[in-house]
Amino acid sequence: MLSTNVLVLNRGYVPVDVTTVRRAFAMLYQGIAKVVDDQYLTFDYHSWSELSVKEHHDSVGLVDRLVRVPRVILLQIYDRMPMRTVRFSRFNIYLRDKNTCQYCGEIFSRKELNLDHVIPRSRGGRTSWDNIVTSCFSCNRRKGGQLLKTAKMRLLNVPRRPRWTPVSVYTLRRGHYDEWKPFLNPIDFAYWNSELEQD
């Protein structure tokens, strides 16, 4: 039971990792994370361990009592996660750019945005974290194959490899619990999470 999976959300409720029950309890105990239950209520270690354990709950014996096994935890701080390479995928690029056109600054739905090469491919621009941004169709058309200067456009943010570590589709498939479902976007994970080819 201690080695089964727990979904880790960052403070924006975005899945960032899958950890073990053992490690989840350690994080709760240290105050690094809180439990999220099926009603989206959050609990610290103390309040969680006070909850009664029903028959259908997974539980572990801790010190002097049975404690319910958390299936989703919410990070309270950012910097305690192990750093991993962030997957260069559509999902993560949209996440980094917060579904915002990096030229006009407007927020769009995902299907109204596309990926833009800041330095166009035709001018040797690479497909990489520092040359790909989300752009709305209209800005994309306006820019065309031009460099920013020629197009008289500018970027809102300098594109960089993000520092957070979003969870990959592979990790999510490994051990899936019903409690995770609300936090996993009902989008096509294969499309969004597959690794894009960098050059």
Output 19 or 134, the one with its CB closest to Zn ion.
134
- Ordered DSSP codes for 83-149: P-PPP--HHHHHHHTTTB-TTT--B--GGGEEEEESS-GGGT--SSTTTEEEEEHHHHHHHTT--HH
> In the bound complex, what is the minimum distance in angstroms from residue 105's beta carbon to Zn ion?
7
Residue where the block lists tokens 């619990």: 177
Q: How far apart are CA 107 and CA 104, in angstroms?
A: 9
Which pair of structure tokens corresponds to residue 110? Answer: 């995902």
Nearest CB to Zn ion, comparing residues 99 and 128: 99
As a residue count, the chain comes to 199
Q: Which is nearer to Zn ion, 139 or 172 (CB)?
A: 139
CB of 186 to Zn ion, least distance (A): 26
100 versus 193: smaller Cβ distance to Zn ion: 100
Positive or negative, the Cα torsion across 48, 50, 53, 58? positive
Binding-site ranges for Zn ion (CB under 5 A): 101, 103-104, 136, 139
Output the smallest distance, CB 112 to Zn ion, in A.
10
Instruction: Supply the minimum distance, in Å, between the C-beta of residue 30 and Zn ion.
Output: 43
Q: Rounded to the nearest whole angstrom, what is the least distance from the CB of residue 164 to Zn ion in the complex?
A: 24
Q: Which is nearer to Zn ion, 42 or 140 (CB)?
A: 140
Q: Closest CB to Zn ion among 8 and 136?
A: 136
CB of 103 vs Zn ion, minimal distance in Å: 5
The answer to whether 154 touches 148, Cβ cutoff 8 Å, is: yes
Handedness of CA 108, 166, 71, 174 (dihedral sign): positive
| Cβ-based neighbour number of residue 53 at 10 Å | 15
Q: What is the CA radius of gyration of the chain?
A: 20
